[in-house]
Structure 1
């Protein structure tokens, strides 16, 4: 059987990425797919881009990648744009929006956020009604399986059996209506949306980097065994915090709080 590691939302955190890649190597996984948001928030987006270009078989564009790579990027986005340089920005802006493949007889579709845009959000952990994502909420998970022009699909195209995405930074996997929906969580900025966990000052598990392993027969349309494995990886958060502290990156205090707590501060 084949193994695929699906990572997302690295956000310039090279320390977390290196730890995750070491874990992937130790598990002898030979394919890595990245669902976007390699940049912003942490201080090494240049190193992250270089590494994913080296090791990933598939790289998709995320909302932060898109914003940073626009020539008109400003403020904290400009800091990252200046850090990565023009060649990397051009590479990131050329990335595809979605990718699909067969595995053990299941059609699997991947994208960063949704089949409608790079920003619309579905998060089963909360009501999808918050100020940051106002008017960008997807209230029903069924919509993530729809064929849309944004991802280059028409109504006559096959509907996926499995959908995987990133964007919300909180990992999960659910089965409904004969479909499977999973989120990779985040390599670089993990977030925990459960209120009981957020209120626990001793919570450390949720700060671990996360990714998903798919195991099955890659490229096969014949029905066979398939599995999903959520992995949490310990990494040296303090090292990444120290890099932030000595940098001039905007909003670094908020980023540091999120790294320490896994509590979303709308960074």
Structure 2
């Protein structure tokens, strides 16, 4: 069994197209999307259309909650993104679950942690220190499977906790490590174990930045372009 998992598209159709092409070449049995679907400024309308057709969101991300009005703040960004999208989409995003178990219960999928899309699974505190075993146990809840895959922190991560592989798939868009390359994950079940492969897919970052500058409100577009070009938050 081969599972492709992506997260944090953030409205970047340019990065998503490249990832979908790369995913298709691996011929997975299923493709899952861990949320933060449209909150971004590099053609969110096309990014959503591609997700709706090829990679519908499996769980809701924290910015999906913001789009749905479940969390206040950042009204200018929310208003502009909403103007690019179908009127009923925000409500749909808000109705997605916080976690889903797949592959016969062996793999758990969430955005942040299974209990809260705003909570990082493997990091804690403002200094983003590694979570303690007790914190991990609490955030995972009653999970007896083999792998838990998340997104949210925009960092590729791998850790094993009491026999469970904890994986952060990394982001399709808005990288935070200075390397502006789209990320996704391939899980392969072989001989009763799951192999974990971090995938990196180059895309036309210049075109994504140019679209944001040309089409989004000035500050939103400039901030998005700076983030994408640098591969880290400005």
TM-score by length of 2: 0.86
Aligned length: 231
Give me the whole-angstrom Cα distance separating, in 2, the residues matched to 1:142 and 1:160.
18
* Match of residue 211, structure 1, among 184, 205, 217: 184
Structure 2 vs 1, CA of residues 59 and 158 (structure 1 numbering), >3 Å: closer, same or farther? closer
Partner of 1:203: none
Q: Is the 8 A contact 1:115 1:146 kept in 2?
A: no
Partner of 1:100: 101
Alpha-carbon deviation of 1:122? Answer: 4.5
Structure 2 vs 1, CA of residues 141 and 86 (structure 1 numbering), >3 Å: closer, same or farther? farther
Alpha-carbon deviation of 1:243? Answer: 0.3
Partner of 2:82: 81
Give the gaps of 5 or more residues in structure 2: none
Q: Is the 8 A contact 2:181 2:200 kept in 1?
A: yes
Partner of 2:202: 234
* Match of residue 126, structure 2, among 111, 121, 129: 129
State the structure with more CA Rg: 1
Q: Secondary structure at the match of 2:100?
A: strand
Q: CA RMSD in A?
A: 2.6
TM-score by length of 1: 0.77
Alpha-carbon deviation of 1:57? Answer: 6.3
Alpha-carbon deviation of 1:180? Answer: 1.0
* Match of residue 153, structure 2, among 168, 178, 188: 168
Alpha-carbon deviation of 1:187? Answer: 0.3
Partner of 1:36: 35
* Match of residue 245, structure 1, among 205, 213, 222: 213
Give me the whole-angstrom Cα distance separating, in 1, the residues matched to 2:176 and 2:23.
21
Give me the whole-angstrom Cα distance separating, in 2, the residues matched to 1:35 and 1:141.
23
Structure 2 vs 1, CA of residues 61 and 163 (structure 1 numbering), >3 Å: closer, same or farther? same
Structure 2 vs 1, CA of residues 69 and 158 (structure 1 numbering), >3 Å: closer, same or farther? closer
> Does 1:183 find its partner at 2:183?
no
Q: Is the 8 A contact 1:172 1:182 kept in 2?
A: yes
